[in-house]
Amino acid sequence: FHLYLDSADLAELRACLPHPVVHGVTTNPTLLRRAGVPRAALPALLHECLALGARQVQAQVQAADAAGMLEDAQSLLAQFAPGQLVIKIPATREGLRAGAQLAAAGHAVTYTAVYAPEQAHFAALLGAAYAAPYLGRLDDSGVDGLALIARMQALVAQTGGPMRLLVASVRTREAYLSLLALGVGAITIPPRLFPQLLDHDATHEAERGFLADARA
Ligand code: E4P
């Protein structure tokens, strides 16, 4: 299972990293804009995440046509060691073409903004590492996001192969636990959710008792 942090805000990321439960960091143009990070500063931000213990980092292309996506992806990939960077591509018709070429050349690809089971199926067929559905946004649109992601997960399992669903737009601890119960292979969470998953008051309380008894 791969747990990612979904953020381009270094202060937010530093509050969580390094930590051994975190596999990596996912970013997208919206997160960069929200954090005030210009695109030119993205490689440096991602290298900082790697230095903080992230095993993989993900960056999204910013072109709408396959040729532009490939050019953007290649210039990002050139700045990282093999295996460090996963290229995120929206699961459009053009995106599938670009991603297929990158995957065939041995690069890890995440198809993002996956809203339908067949998109996850095609992503798996094309050798992607991940397909990213957006749970919260599916729910916002009036769809039962969890039920749709369960259908995607069934298709991915049936297709076989190593591709994982990387569920994004995960806003609550309950949503995270429900996704784990579905057996999804990866989840990316906003850093604000991290303490809710890692820190339990009762555990701290028990620890305080143990430490007091150890001293007595
Ligand atoms: C995914 O890449 C996005 O960062 C994620 O969907 C954002 O979550 P939100 O829909 O809760 O804003």
By alpha-carbon position, which residue is closest to atom 8 of ligand 1? 169
- For residue 74, pLDDT over 90 is answered with yes
Rounded CA-CA distance 166/188 in Å is 7
Quick one: pLDDT at residue 89?
A: 98
SS (H, E, C) the chain: CEEEEECCCHHHHHCCCCCCCCCEEECCHHHHHHHCCCHHHHHHHHHHHHHCCCCEEEEECCCCCHHHHHHHHHHHHCCCCCCCEEEEEECCHHHHHHHHHHHHCCCCEEEEEECCHHHHHHHHHCCCCEEEEEHHHHHHCCCCHHHHHHHHHHHHHHHCCCCEEEEECCCCHHHHHHHHHHCCCEEEECHHHHHHHHCCHHHHHHHHHHHHHHHC
| 117-139 residue pLDDT tens | 999 999 999 999 999 999 999 99
| 30-53 residue pLDDT tens | 999 999 999 999 999 999 999 999
Residues with CB under 6 A from ligand 1: 6, 28, 31, 112, 134, 136-137, 168-169, 171
How many domains does the structure of the chain reveal? Answer: 1
Residue 165: both structure tokens together: 């669903």
Residue to mutate (ligand 1; options 5, 6, 192; most atoms within 8 A of CB): 6
Residue 86 belongs to domain spanning: 2-215
Residue to mutate (ligand 1; options 169, 172, 187, 192; most atoms within 8 A of CB): 169
CATH number for the domain spanning 39: value is: 3.20.20.70
Mean pLDDT of the chain: 97
- For residue 160, pLDDT over 90 is answered with no
pLDDT band for 206, please (50, 70, 90 cuts).
very high
- For residue 179, pLDDT over 90 is answered with yes
ipTM attached to this prediction? 0.94
By alpha-carbon position, which residue is closest to atom 11 of ligand 1? 169
Among the atoms of ligand 1, which is closest to the Cα of residue 112? 2
Residue to mutate (ligand 1; options 137, 140, 143; most atoms within 8 A of CB): 137
Percent of the chain with pLDDT over 70: 100
Closest CA to 91 of 46, 136, 121: 121
Q: How much distance in Å is there from the Cα of 169 to the middle of ligand 1?
A: 4
Residues recognised as catalytic: 88
By alpha-carbon position, which residue is closest to atom 1 of ligand 1? 168
Quick one: pLDDT at residue 215?
A: 97
pLDDT band for 159, please (50, 70, 90 cuts).
confident
Planar angle of CA 44, 137, 17, nearest 5 degrees? 35
Decide: residue 81, CB within 10 A, 0-12 exposed, 13-18 middle, 19+ buried: exposed
Quick one: pLDDT at residue 176?
A: 98
Closest CA to 120 of 193, 87, 112: 112
- From the CA atom positions of the chain, what is the Rg in Å? 18
Q: 18: cis peptide before it, omega within 30°? A: yes
Among the atoms of ligand 1, which is closest to the Cα of residue 28? 2
Q: How much distance in Å is there from the Cα of 168 to the middle of ligand 1?
A: 6
- For residue 91, pLDDT over 90 is answered with yes
